[in-house]
Amino acid sequence: MRTKPDLSFWKLWNLSFGFFGVQIAYALQSANISRIFATLGADPHNLSYFWILPPLMGIIVQPLVGKWSDNTWTRFGRRIPYLFIGAIVAVLVMCLLPNAGSLGLSISAAMIFGLVSLMFLDTSINMAMQPFKMLVGDMVNEKQKGLAYSIQSFLCNAGSLVGYLFPYIFTAVGIASVASEGEIPDSVKWSFYIGAIILILCVIYTTITVKEMPPKEYAEYHGITEGCSTAKSNMLHLLIKAPRTFWTVGLVQFFCWAAFMYMWTYTNGAIAVSAFDTPTITKNGVEVLDVASKQYQAAGDWVGVLFAVQAIGSVIWATLIPQFKNHKVAYSLSLVLGGIGFISTMFIHDQHMLFISYLLIGCAWAAMLALPFTILTNSLSGKNMGTYLGLFNGTICLPQIIAAMVGGYLVSWLTPAGAIAAQDRMLVLAGILLLIGAVSVFIIKETSAEKKE
């Protein structure tokens, strides 16, 4: 088997540049979905249920994209066609979703419209996102994968930074951040519109600058014979035969992604109470936050700022991760710092002091974006790289689905009788999950597919 040559920094950069635009879309979704559905009228105890759909679509779409693209060879490449189609659909849906409350629909109809739009948005984002991880696995040698995924992590966090800040920036320049009851503010709408434009431009850049390997060259670099390159692989069979690394890293992933699901779901409500003194109203006999108030919508804008701070912390920490000689030490330490960050939010009531918490959370995010894929792809041969990465996405989606399904129950359990939903305690739970993940890191067994050849 031929060894893949070293790539220049800019070739590694081009492989992942489109991820910048895709991540803007993902950041807008992550930071604003709870805000959007709460504004439409959702009960805070039920917010986590709206988050079931995105990872559910991911667990279906990403393995299929991986399997199909493993067997796709076109003049445009094998991964890039899926990237481009996903981006086109995402752009269309990004222009529809924030208008769910502006179409004259009833509350229930607006929520259904929003849910359908969210389903298509997350499906398309997943379809556009997965090829970037596959491109690195396909084209980068083992020695450079750490750097390649660090570049991807940097671009991911830079895109997140932009997406998270858009509502705050648009509010600062005078675009309305408050709208009529049940309608999404213009600052959020324009964030999605501009994000859609940037997304398609970034994806076009990647499709122009990246040239994937032709089938014969790919087979030579990945040790694939003609017979096995044409053989069809059953996904269940591959899952059963997955290396131990797949499962041990997947266990760590479970705790990490459940934690971040609770961050995305409950940060808005948590800081609306603790840092913005949002007023409450009685609705259907239950005391809830006044989502039409200036304080609640200001908290929604500030969530974007906090998530942007998290992205900054992640960018900084991502530059330090390659300096660690031991992947597992870097991974575990990062999760411990993130866990401390989540738990500290319970005790901080100043909106600016929360920067410290989210900088620490960014350390965990940086490790989650880079290290699992570095460790996993080093243990895989090139034959079914895309399928395995698609299946591995289940370790990202499944914990989010489970966390979302039990989130409403946990909020009710943690909320004192007669009080508003204890969303701040869900962030503490997220911190505990990360600390458990940090301990689980040390059961990972790293292997090298290249050394087996």
Please say if the pLDDT value at position 453 is more than 60: no
Confidence of residue 120 (pLDDT cuts 50, 70, 90): confident
Instruction: Identify the pLDDT of residue 406.
Output: 92
Instruction: Identify the pLDDT of residue 306.
Output: 94
**Helices H / strands E in the chain, number of each:** 18, 2
Q: Domain spans of the chain?
A: 9-212+233-452
The percentage of residues in the chain with a pLDDT greater than 70, rounded to a whole number, is 92
Q: Give the mean model confidence (pLDDT) for residues 325-349.
A: 94
Instruction: Tell me the angle at which helices 294-320 and 244-274 cross, rounded to the nearest 10 degrees.
Output: 140
Half-sphere exposure of residue 232: CA atoms within 13 angstroms, side-chain side: 2
Confidence of residue 290 (pLDDT cuts 50, 70, 90): confident
Instruction: Identify the pLDDT of residue 385.
Output: 62
Please say if the pLDDT value at position 246 is more than 50: yes
Q: Are 183 and 67 in contact (CB under 8 A)?
A: no
Listed range (254-263, 368-377, 437-446) with the worst mean pLDDT = 368-377
The percentage of residues in the chain with a pLDDT greater than 90, rounded to a whole number, is 30
Q: Give the mean model confidence (pLDDT) for residues 177-183.
A: 80
Instruction: Identify the pLDDT of residue 2.
Output: 72
Please say if the pLDDT value at position 346 is more than 70: yes
Q: Are 113 and 126 in contact (CB under 8 A)?
A: no
Per-residue pLDDT of 184-225, as tens digits, reads: 889 999 999 999 999 999 999 988 898 887 777 777 766 665
Separation CA 179–CA 183 (nearest Å): 6
Confidence of residue 227 (pLDDT cuts 50, 70, 90): very low
Confidence of residue 230 (pLDDT cuts 50, 70, 90): very low
Instruction: Identify the pLDDT of residue 229.
Output: 45
Please say if the pLDDT value at position 352 is more than 90: yes
Instruction: Identify the pLDDT of residue 437.
Output: 96
Per-residue pLDDT of 313-330, as tens digits, reads: 988 898 888 888 888 899
Q: For 381-413, give one letter per residue: b (16+ CB within 10 A) or e.
A: bbbbbbbbbbbbbbbbbbbbbbbbeebbebbee
Instruction: Identify the pLDDT of residue 348.
Output: 93
* The model's pTM: 0.75
Mean pLDDT, all residues of the chain: 84
Per-residue pLDDT of 135-155, as tens digits, reads: 887 888 878 877 887 788 788
Identify the H or E element spanning 273. Answer: helix 244-274
Strands (DSSP E) along 207-326, which ranges?
280-283, 286-289
Half-sphere exposure of residue 185: CA atoms within 13 angstroms, side-chain side: 27
Instruction: Identify the pLDDT of residue 448.
Output: 59
The SS3 call for residue 286 is strand
Confidence of residue 26 (pLDDT cuts 50, 70, 90): confident
9-212+233-452 placed in CATH 2.60.40.10? no
Q: How far is CA 53 from CA 60, 119, 250, 314, 430, in A?
A: 11, 6, 21, 26, 20
Rounded CA Rg of the chain = 21
